[in-house]
Amino acid sequence: MEEQQIQDFVHRVSHDETLRKELASNPDGVIMREGFSPRVARIVARLVPQLALDKPIGPSSPFFWR
Which residues contact other proteins (rule: CB under 8 A)? Answer: 2-3, 6-7, 10-11, 14, 39-40, 42-44, 46-47, 50-51, 56-57, 59-66
DSSP 4-50: HHHHHHHHHHHH-HHHHHHHHH-HHHHHHHHT--HHHHHHHHHHHHH
Q: Using the minimum distance from each CB to other proteins, give the nearer residue, 3 or 17.
A: 3
Q: Using the minimum distance from each CB to other proteins, give the nearer residue, 22 or 48.
A: 48
CB of 53 vs other proteins, minimal distance in Å: 12
Cβ count within 10 A of residue 64 = 5
CB of 23 vs other proteins, minimal distance in Å: 12
